[in-house]
Amino acid sequence: MVYSFLLLKIMHELSIAMGIVKIAEDETAKVKENTVTKIELEIGQLAGIEIDSLNFVWESAVKDSVLEKAIKEITIIPGKAKCADCDTVFYLENIYDSCPKCNSNFKGILQGKELRVKALEVI
Protein backbone atom coordinates (compact mmCIF):
# COMPACT_ATOMS: atom_id res chain seq x y z
CA MET A 1 0.00 0.00 0.00
CA VAL A 2 2.71 2.46 1.00
CA TYR A 3 4.76 1.24 -1.91
CA SER A 4 1.99 1.66 -4.44
CA PHE A 5 1.25 5.14 -3.13
CA LEU A 6 4.88 6.12 -3.52
CA LEU A 7 4.82 4.80 -7.04
CA LEU A 8 1.72 6.85 -7.81
CA LYS A 9 3.28 9.94 -6.32
CA ILE A 10 6.34 9.49 -8.52
CA MET A 11 4.19 8.86 -11.60
CA HIS A 12 2.44 12.10 -10.78
CA GLU A 13 5.63 14.13 -10.65
CA LEU A 14 6.87 12.32 -13.74
CA SER A 15 3.84 13.45 -15.72
CA ILE A 16 4.46 17.00 -14.53
CA ALA A 17 8.13 16.73 -15.52
CA MET A 18 7.10 15.48 -18.97
CA GLY A 19 4.83 18.51 -19.28
CA ILE A 20 7.79 20.74 -18.48
CA VAL A 21 9.93 18.99 -21.08
CA LYS A 22 7.19 19.49 -23.68
CA ILE A 23 7.01 23.22 -23.00
CA ALA A 24 10.80 23.52 -23.22
CA GLU A 25 10.89 21.56 -26.49
CA ASP A 26 8.12 23.68 -28.01
CA GLU A 27 9.54 27.02 -26.90
CA THR A 28 13.10 26.30 -27.99
CA ALA A 29 11.89 25.00 -31.36
CA LYS A 30 10.15 28.35 -31.93
CA VAL A 31 13.48 30.18 -31.67
CA LYS A 32 15.55 27.40 -33.22
CA GLU A 33 17.61 26.66 -30.12
CA ASN A 34 18.44 23.19 -28.94
CA THR A 35 20.21 23.45 -25.62
CA VAL A 36 18.77 24.94 -22.50
CA THR A 37 21.32 25.89 -19.88
CA LYS A 38 18.84 26.78 -17.20
CA ILE A 39 15.15 26.42 -16.59
CA GLU A 40 13.31 28.47 -14.02
CA LEU A 41 10.21 26.98 -12.48
CA GLU A 42 7.68 28.39 -10.08
CA ILE A 43 5.92 25.88 -7.92
CA GLY A 44 3.31 26.82 -5.37
CA GLN A 45 3.34 25.10 -2.01
CA LEU A 46 -0.30 24.16 -2.51
CA ALA A 47 0.14 22.84 -6.05
CA GLY A 48 0.37 19.22 -4.97
CA ILE A 49 3.90 18.73 -6.22
CA GLU A 50 6.64 17.38 -4.02
CA ILE A 51 9.98 18.87 -4.93
CA ASP A 52 11.84 15.76 -3.76
CA SER A 53 9.79 13.53 -6.04
CA LEU A 54 10.23 15.97 -8.91
CA ASN A 55 13.99 15.95 -8.37
CA PHE A 56 13.87 12.17 -8.23
CA VAL A 57 12.23 11.80 -11.66
CA TRP A 58 13.94 14.79 -13.26
CA GLU A 59 16.97 13.04 -14.71
CA SER A 60 15.00 10.37 -16.51
CA ALA A 61 12.38 12.87 -17.71
CA VAL A 62 14.88 15.24 -19.34
CA LYS A 63 17.09 12.56 -20.86
CA ASP A 64 17.61 13.14 -24.61
CA SER A 65 15.64 16.40 -24.48
CA VAL A 66 16.68 20.05 -24.76
CA LEU A 67 16.68 20.07 -20.95
CA GLU A 68 19.20 17.30 -20.55
CA LYS A 69 22.00 19.68 -19.53
CA ALA A 70 19.87 22.37 -17.97
CA ILE A 71 20.18 23.58 -14.42
CA LYS A 72 16.82 23.55 -12.74
CA GLU A 73 15.95 26.45 -10.50
CA ILE A 74 12.76 26.24 -8.51
CA THR A 75 11.07 29.15 -6.81
CA ILE A 76 8.65 27.89 -4.21
CA ILE A 77 5.68 30.16 -3.78
CA PRO A 78 4.18 29.96 -0.31
CA GLY A 79 0.47 29.40 0.09
CA LYS A 80 -1.49 32.52 0.92
CA ALA A 81 -5.20 32.97 1.43
CA LYS A 82 -7.75 35.56 2.42
CA CYS A 83 -10.40 34.59 4.95
CA ALA A 84 -13.90 34.96 3.51
CA ASP A 85 -15.34 35.75 6.94
CA CYS A 86 -12.92 38.24 8.49
CA ASP A 87 -10.67 39.26 5.55
CA THR A 88 -7.49 38.22 7.34
CA VAL A 89 -4.72 37.42 4.87
CA PHE A 90 -2.64 34.50 6.08
CA TYR A 91 -0.01 32.01 4.99
CA LEU A 92 -0.96 28.37 4.85
CA GLU A 93 1.00 25.16 4.56
CA ASN A 94 -2.00 23.01 3.70
CA ILE A 95 -5.01 23.83 1.63
CA TYR A 96 -7.20 22.97 4.65
CA ASP A 97 -5.55 25.31 7.15
CA SER A 98 -8.20 27.50 8.71
CA CYS A 99 -8.08 31.22 9.43
CA PRO A 100 -5.70 31.87 12.33
CA LYS A 101 -7.92 34.69 13.57
CA CYS A 102 -11.50 33.42 13.36
CA ASN A 103 -10.98 29.73 12.54
CA SER A 104 -13.18 29.84 9.44
CA ASN A 105 -12.54 27.36 6.64
CA PHE A 106 -14.00 29.65 3.99
CA LYS A 107 -11.22 31.37 2.14
CA GLY A 108 -9.96 32.41 -1.23
CA ILE A 109 -6.53 31.16 -2.24
CA LEU A 110 -4.38 34.13 -3.28
CA GLN A 111 -1.25 32.26 -4.24
CA GLY A 112 0.47 28.91 -3.89
CA LYS A 113 -1.25 26.90 -6.65
CA GLU A 114 1.30 27.95 -9.29
CA LEU A 115 2.92 25.41 -11.54
CA ARG A 116 4.76 27.44 -14.11
CA VAL A 117 7.76 27.52 -16.40
CA LYS A 118 9.00 31.02 -15.87
CA ALA A 119 11.98 31.24 -18.18
CA LEU A 120 14.50 29.27 -20.18
CA GLU A 121 18.10 30.27 -20.57
CA VAL A 122 19.60 29.10 -23.85
CA ILE A 123 23.17 29.33 -25.04
Partner 1 sequence: MCGTCGCGTDDNGPTILKPGEQPHNHVHEHTHDGIHFHSHEDAEHNHQHKVLKIEQDILQNNQVLAARNRGYFEAKNIFALNLVSSPGSGKTSILEKTLADLSAEIPFYVIEGDQQTLNDANRIDALKIPVIQINTGKGCHLESDMVYNAVKKLNIKDNSVLMIENVGNLVCPSMFDLGESKRVVIISTTEGEDKPIKYPDMFHTSDICIINKIDLLPYLNIDVEKLKNYALKVNPNLQFFEVSATTGEGMEAWYNWLKKNLI
Residues 54-113 that bind Zn ion (CB under 5 A): 83, 85-86, 88, 99, 101-102, 104
**Least separation, in Å, of the C-beta of 88 and partner 1?**
14
| CA 97 – CA 100 distance, rounded (Å) | 8
**Of 2, 3, 31, 64, the one binding partner 1 by CB under 8 A:** 31
The reply on whether position 75 binds partner 1 by CB under 8 A is yes
The reply on whether position 15 binds partner 1 by CB under 8 A is yes
Q: Is 114 helix (H, G, I), strand (E, B) or coil?
A: coil
| CA 108 – CA 65 distance, rounded (Å) | 38
Bridge partners, 43 (sequence order): 76, 115
Residues 43-62 that bind partner 1 (CB under 8 A): 48, 51
Which sign does the torsion angle of CA 97, 102, 105, 106 carry?
negative
Q: Which residues of this protein are in contact with Zn ion, per CB under 5 A? A: 12, 15, 83, 85-86, 88, 99, 101-102, 104
